[in-house]
Copies of this chain bind each other. A is one copy, B any other.
């Protein structure tokens, strides 16, 4: 398959960046190509277009499926498997965040929690545990926060974004509002 120069630069760039997001160069390229291509592509098309081996494509698709970023689809009367991305760009970002959280943050939280059960034996250990506690709390905050964002629809999110420098403002609004009611808490 031929690709235009801008698609090519996009694909190469995401190959390089891909490693930062948890997959290797060729997997990043395969994903990028699928993102910007409307119709599903066969493994052979991917291999030829990107100049990589058929086996590599097979492994890459397996990995992207394990990330829930790619699905298989079939064309009636054709035995080949065709691949396409799952969902929108927003879904893509959500999925990547979620998977990375599962793979990176969750194990870290679990290790920190285990360590925090110990009693410090001396001043040095107490300091270390204090720092671990801080990291733990920070990660929990981020986790909770990102969960919130994920549950928002893209439309709502966009509204939120457009508030621009307003997050801080929103906070004081919230204070104002709840000052007059009596529940500062919005648990459900």
Residues of A within 8 A of B (CB): 4, 6-7, 9-10, 13, 17, 20, 22, 35-38, 88-90, 93, 100, 104, 107-108, 111-112, 114-115, 118, 121, 124-125, 127-129, 131-132, 134-135, 138, 141-142, 144-145, 148-149, 151-152, 156-161, 163-171, 173-174, 176-177, 180-181, 184, 186-188
Residues of B within 8 A of A159 (CB): 171, 174
User: Are B152 and A168 closer than 8 Å at their CB atoms?
Assistant: yes
A176 and B173 alpha carbons, distance in the complex (Å): 11
A125 to B10, CA, bound (A): 12
Known: A13-B111, A152-B167. A128 touches B20 (CB 8 A): no
Return chain B residues, CB-CB under 8 Å to A13.
107-108, 111
